[in-house]
Structure 1
């Protein structure tokens, strides 16, 4: 399978470590980069535009409730940038609130899922995420997009 790069944006270190651990169990070839908040994620995306050693993610998994810049603010800013607009963003939040869901889709999230409460449910979700984003859909070639 071709290399796949995922940017995980979550300030909860334990959640991020568990997500990464479970993902790597079944998909060790996936490169996961972590950011602790929306600002770090935006900074990473900016570096990916100018530094050829920084890979542009093919999927961003985004928490909503974070300090410095939350997930909603990140979506607004990232999706306002032409080059970032095509990167799919899956919101993965503890919130199941309709306002969070609606606002995420309004700001061009590609999907929304509630963080699972159990290890088995997280493993199942990650399998579905991988099946969909790494197999079922055709993703844009970010490196070939015109600015």
Structure 2
């Protein structure tokens, strides 16, 4: 058990996918706090908003309106106060171009959205085990410019 809540920012325009992911994550790990936004622009606005909890992990879809995942990655990783937040791309695309471009823009990981409920449960277990247990994450509670 972490000593405090683990904050996830879920960036995905597919509401049904986001609800299912959140439900599975919360069932398995009720201490997790998940905030859902619909696109990269909303995600940047959330990160820049004073008083909001800084996410420990961002889970990012690629194909979204307004600002897609690739553009969000570029902008978030170029910003000093967001650069060290790990970003896991979770996309329906397994295309080599999407994978390469994501890592080129400093994604911390890349996974393909599973097609079945059971596979999504297994992926959530792996995500949580790795990001909440296996690695040490930066703990910057307040960053000043």
After superposition, residues 55-74 of structure 1 pair within 5 angstroms as: 55-74=53-72
- Deviation (angstroms), 1:146: 6.0
**Aligned twin of 1:30:** 32
**Aligned twin of 1:119:** 117
**2:144 aligned with 1:142, yes or no?**
no
- Deviation (angstroms), 1:142: 2.3
> How many positions carry a matched residue from both structures?
143
Unmatched 5+ residue regions in structure 1?
Answer: none
Per-residue deviation, residues 85-110 of structure 1 (Å, max 9, x unmatched):
00000000000000000000000000
**Aligned twin of 1:5:** 7
Secondary structure at the counterpart of residue 127 of structure 2: helix
**2:48 aligned with 1:46, yes or no?**
yes
**Aligned twin of 1:98:** 96
Give the whole-Å Cα distance in 1 for the aligned partners of 2:66 and 2:142. Answer: 32
Secondary structure at the counterpart of residue 111 of structure 2: strand
- Aligned with residue 80 of structure 2, among 79, 82, 94: 82
- Deviation (angstroms), 1:137: 0.2
Unmatched 5+ residue regions in structure 2?
Answer: none
- Deviation (angstroms), 1:57: 0.3
More helix by proportion, 1 or 2? 1
Question: Are the equivalent residues in 2 in contact too, given 1:86–1:142 (CA < 8 A)?
Answer: no
Give the whole-Å Cα distance in 1 for the aligned partners of 2:14 and 2:106. Answer: 23
Question: Are the equivalent residues in 2 in contact too, given 1:87–1:142 (CA < 8 A)?
Answer: no
